[in-house]
Structure 1
Amino acid sequence: MTWLGWLRPSGRTSLRSRLAWSASLVVALWVVLLAVGANILLARGLAAQADDVLRARAEATALTVEVAVDGKVSVLETRDDRALDVGTWIFTGDGSIVERPPGSSPALDAEAAGLSRACAGTRDLEAGESLRLLCLPVIENGQQVAAVVTSSSMSPYDQVQRLALLGSVGVAVVLMVIVHVVLRANVTRALRPVQQMSVQAGRWSAEDVERRFGSEPRPAELAELAETLDQLLDRLAAVIRHEQRFSEELSHELRTPLARIQAEVDLLIAQPRDATALQTAHLAIDRSTRSMRSILDTMMTAARSMNSLDDARSRLDEILVRLTELDRLGDGTPVVVDCPAGLIVGVDGDVLERALAPVVDNAIRYARTQVTIHGSREQGRIAVTVIDDGPGMTEEIAERAFEPGFRGDAGDGHPGAGLGLALVRRLVVAAGGTAQATASASGGQVRLTFPPG
């Protein structure tokens, strides 16, 4: 395991742990750098101090060195000079020993003699313990006539360095434990609202999708999170409302054809019928099943087309011709199509047909003699206007024509549930268009606009 593995906990960790460990690792790197730097500075300081002590002893010893006229080197004996004699060598200019420290070994004498000949700087060596030698030349008349070599044990300095290193490691460990605990507590405190908000959002999405966090004062990050969660809850609520409305509309619209089928089946079971009555019942059941299929196709298309289909294209004239060929025109009402050839609509063909079919059905149902469908390009849009010569619409009916469940004349005997034009508007708006009914006493008029293809 690497050293990083000891700092990083194993297994799956939470964001809180990752943040705490990442911050602790950064702090640990800085502490290590500071500790290493401090120990390097301490080592250099202790070495400089040892050199200063050796140089001071060498200078004091050099004051006792006398050089005769004939070049003979001697040492002036003074009172209490034993302190200077400890670890001190005096050499002549040619490297002969004038005085050596008591108890010095031949090997140590040789090292001191070698340093005296070069007489430059210091030399570290191991002679049972760590020693440092320093050479100070004695100069007269510009020439080196003697050399003083002093030595000192580096063990006390090494001991100080070891203690400083151990102390810095101990302080770093304690500091890192404290830093990690504090960081983890702060990160936990900072992330606790996030956890609480996520749990609350999950509970609301399951129990009360209309609840929101709102705009109460929060830190900037939590306010942004609250806004995002509110937007997600808004979209979830919209999806749920759409599903509920779809279920209600589907149930409402299928109720009538299902009731007709059930009634015909009950009559077939309850009493025998002749061939003509039996054929009539079969045709009624067939019309009801076709109506159910049309309702399902229209509503499924509406459900799949809640978003605009940007890449879809279709020819309006072909769709209008297809509408006039359907069996909905079996009552004989003529439908006149007035549309330029090649007019392209930026809507899928099936969606366009489902959007126009209920409008054409209504026009045929209320027309006296004829239905006219106009297709044209107006102000950068594709407009489709369906006109009949029936009784027309009042202001109230025109205004509410596209409301779900609204019927202009509930007693006209039509089995619908008032969802046809509501589905039209949903399809048209989803495709990026508009739907409008015009009030008139001289006939009905519905105008739909679509994006061009």
Structure 2
Amino acid sequence: MRRRLVLLTTASVAVALLVLTSGFLLVLSHGLDRDADLVLRSRAEAVLATLEFTGGGLVVEDLPLDEVVDTNAWVFDASGRVVVEPHAAPEVAAAAAGLRGTKAAVFRDAGDVRLLARPALGRGTVVVSVSRVPYEHSEWIALLAALLLDAVVLLMVLVLTRRVVTAALRVVAAMTQQALEWSERDLDHRFALGPPHDELTELAANLDVLLDRMAATLRHERRLSAEIAHELRTPLARLRAEAEIALLRERPHAELRTALQAVVADAGDLTRVVDTLLEFSRTEIETAGCQVGDVLAAVDGRVRVEAPADPALRVGCEEELVSRMLAPLLQNAVAYGRAHATLSVTGDDGAVVFTVADDGPGVRAGEEETIFEPAHRGSAAHLRQGSGLGLALSRRLARAAGGDVVAVPSTAGGLFQVRLPRA
């Protein structure tokens, strides 16, 4: 990654320098051409100032100046005859001769020489020249200097970028290594750099979130293991006790059958405990949603269902997940209810509320929270056997889906509400 960042930055700077250098050379070339044209205009004006028209044609009236301008100026009369002609290369002289008789100012290039032709007093033509070699030499010097400067700047950018990227990535590598060590040894440590305001603090915040999730997962696994160990202890103890009693002495067939039935019941209880805990450990919260009518169709037939006004009302959870949340509540309603157990559904403020009611002993005041603790059973626990995990599982699933399960204290019967978000 470091190499890619350095190469990308260097390439970007190289392209920018190429564009800037090209623009600089274009501006410089245009400026030198303009300077050459200004020199030509000045020379043409100087030559025109030395000319005079007489009966014999155009003559140069200022001989000292003529000695100066003769080296780069031609003077042609109206008939095209050469009045003044400097020493010049044949191709330059031919180009100058081709400009005689012009009616307006004309520029022309002949090799490394630039020419300007001007009408002279309406009776002839003046052609002046200037060598482009000094200007081209200046352009080459500027080009070499620009390329050298570009090379120096590019080298400096390469070195500085490499150092900056190395320093930045060193911090990232150190944070990653630190997070890895914490994940293996101590999940309670966090970077805690505050709200993200740059890339590094955002990385630290993301690593903190990752560590939080890992810590939550580890705590969940530890709690699950502890709950399994706690809940299996009692059924296993009963199984062993029943088996030991059965082996102590010879027993009548009826007593032995009763003991074996108790063992089978304890084994069933043990199986339900294991299934419940493992089901919760494997549960993944889905968000595709389902219709309330589909959930109600799968409810135990011993529960009276009060269908909602809108069966197409959608819940923001999968049907199977909603059924898992309701199952412990419905089982308790059937087990504790004396005559009836009901399930009703209503829509309320962006949520779907499932209400499970029965005519049993209900939930006493002060127990509405403790009964949701794993392995904790309320004051009516003596009425039936259980593991004390059903309500805890129901609430965990509901909260994981963005909802909740609450118990309403009442001595007139059990009343539980499952509130889930709408789809």
One-letter amino acid of the counterpart of residue 47, structure 1: D
Aligned to 1:422: 392
Partner Cα distance (1:393, 1:219) in 2? 50
Give CA-to-partner distance per residue, 1:8-54, whole Å, 9 cap, x none. Answer: xxxxx34x843x55554444444333322322222222223333333
Contact 2:306 2:343 in 1 (8 A): no
8 Å CA contact 1:256, 1:416 repeated in 2? no
Give matches, 1:137-152, under 5 Å. Answer: 137-139=119-121, 143-144=122-123, 146-152=124-130
**The 10-residue stretch of structure 1 (165-174 or 421-430) with the greater mean CA deviation from structure 2:** 421-430
**Is 2:116 the counterpart of 1:134?**
yes
User: Could you tell me which residue of structure 2 aligns to residue 405 of structure 1?
Assistant: 375
Which one-letter code corresponds to 1:448 in the other structure? Answer: F
Contact 1:17 1:184 in 2 (8 A): no
Contact 1:355 1:428 in 2 (8 A): no
Question: Alignment partner for residue 32 of structure 1, among 2, 18, 35?
Answer: 18
Partner residue in 2 for 1:357: 331
Alpha-carbon displacement from aligned partner over 1:328-383 (angstroms, at most 9, x marks no partner): xxxxxxxxx6x45546796633442234325655x38xxxxx46535456895442
1:230-379 pair list within 5 angstroms? 230-262=208-240, 276=254, 279-303=257-281, 307=285, 310-311=289-290, 313=292, 319-322=299-302, 339=304, 341-342=306-307, 348-358=322-332, 360-361=334-335, 363=336, 370=338, 372-376=340-344
Structure 1 position 67 matched with structure 2 position 53: yes
Give yes or no for contact 2:40–2:116 (8 Å, CA) kept in 1. Answer: yes
TM-score by length of 1: 0.72
1:59–1:136 contact (8 Å) kept in structure 2: no
429-438 or 244-253, which deviates more: 429-438
Note the alpha carbon deviations across 1:183-214, whole angstroms, 9 max, x for none: 44345445554443333333323322222222
Residue deviations 1:67-118 (CA, integer Å, cap 9, x gap) = 331x43444573485432223322221112233223x455443322111232
Aligned partner of 1:87 among 72, 83, 91 = 72
Match of residue 448, structure 1, among 402, 416, 419: 416
Give the secondary-structure state (helix, strand or coil) at the position aligned to 1:212. coil
Q: Flag structure 1 segments of 5+ consecutive residues without an equivalent.
A: 1-12, 323-336, 365-369
1:48 aligns with 2:16: no
* Structure 2 residue 407 is matched with structure 1 residue 436: yes
Match of 1:113 in 2: 97
Judged with a 3 Å threshold, the aligned counterparts in structure 2 of structure 1 residues 100 and 435 are, in CA distance, closer, same or farther, namely closer
Which of 76, 82, 89 is the aligned partner of 1:97?
82
Q: Distance in 2 between matches of 1:315 and 1:51?
A: 92
Distance 1:294 1:169 in 2: 81
SS of 2:101's equivalent in the other structure is helix
Whether the 8 Å CA contact 2:371–2:377 is kept in 1: the answer is: yes
Q: Distance in 1 between matches of 2:113 and 2:145?
A: 25
Supply the distance in 2 between the matched residues of 1:235 and 1:124 (Cα, whole angstroms): 78
Structure 2 gap segments, 5+ residues each? none
Report the number of matched residues. Answer: 404
TM-aligned CA deviation for residue 241 of structure 1: 1.8
TM value normalised by structure 2: 0.76
Query: How much identity, in percent, do the aligned residues show?
Result: 33
Letter in 1 for 2:355: A
Give the aligned residue type for 2:72. Answer: G
Given residue 115 of structure 2, which amino acid in structure 1 is its aligned partner? L
Give the secondary-structure state (helix, strand or coil) at the position aligned to 1:321: coil
Alpha-carbon distance change, 91 to 269 in structure 1, aligned in 2, over 3 angstroms: farther
Distance 1:179 1:211 in 2: 38
Q: Counterpart of 2:323 in structure 1: which amino acid?
A: G
Distance, in Å, in 2 between the alignment partners of 1:287 and 1:106 is 124
> Cα gap change, 1:236/1:446 in structure 2, threshold over 3 Å: closer, same or farther?
farther
Query: 157, 162, 167: which is aligned to 1:179?
Result: 157
Q: 1:197 to 1:312 in 2, by over 3 A?
A: farther
Q: Bigger CA drift: 378-387 or 225-234?
A: 378-387
Instruction: Give, in whole Å, the separation in 2 of the partners of 1:413 and 1:355.
Output: 16
User: Take 1:94 and 1:300, find their aligned partners in 2: how far apart are those partners?
Assistant: 116
Shift in Å at residue 162 of structure 1?
A: 0.8
Check the 8 A contact 1:298/1:354 in 2, yes or no.
no
Taking structure 1 as reference, are residues 289 and 234 closer, same or farther at Cα in structure 2, changes over 3 Å only?
same
Query: Which residue does the alignment assign to 2:110?
Result: 125
Counterparts in 2 of 1:100 and 1:429: CA distance versus 1, 3 Å? closer
Q: Deviations over 1:246-281 (max 9, x none)?
A: 222122222333344455667788888775565445
- Preserved CA contact (<8 Å) 1:91 1:99: yes
- Tell me the SS of whatever aligns to 2:99: helix
CA distance 1:85–1:222, shift in 2 (3 Å): same
- The match for 1:331 is none
- The 1:100–1:424 alpha-carbon spacing in structure 2 relative to 1, beyond 3 Å, is closer
Spell out the pairing of 1:377-388 with structure 2 (5 A cutoff).
381-388=353-360
> CA 1:256/1:151 → structure 2, altered by over 3 Å: closer, same or farther?
same
Q: Distance in 1 between matches of 2:53 and 2:269?
A: 134
Question: Would the alpha carbon gap of residues 218 and 385 (structure 1) be closer, same or farther in structure 2, given more than 3 Å must change?
Answer: closer
For residues 270-318 of structure 1, the C-alpha deviation after alignment (integer angstroms, 9 at most, x for no partner) is 8887755654454334223322232233334444557487426456697
Q: Structure 2: how far apart are the matches of 1:172 and 1:117?
A: 49
Task: Say if 1:270 and 1:93 are closer, same or farther in 2 by CA, change over 3 A.
Answer: farther
Match of 1:210 in 2: 188
Compared with structure 1, are the counterparts of its residues 65 and 433 closer, same or farther at alpha carbon in structure 2 (3 Å cutoff)? closer
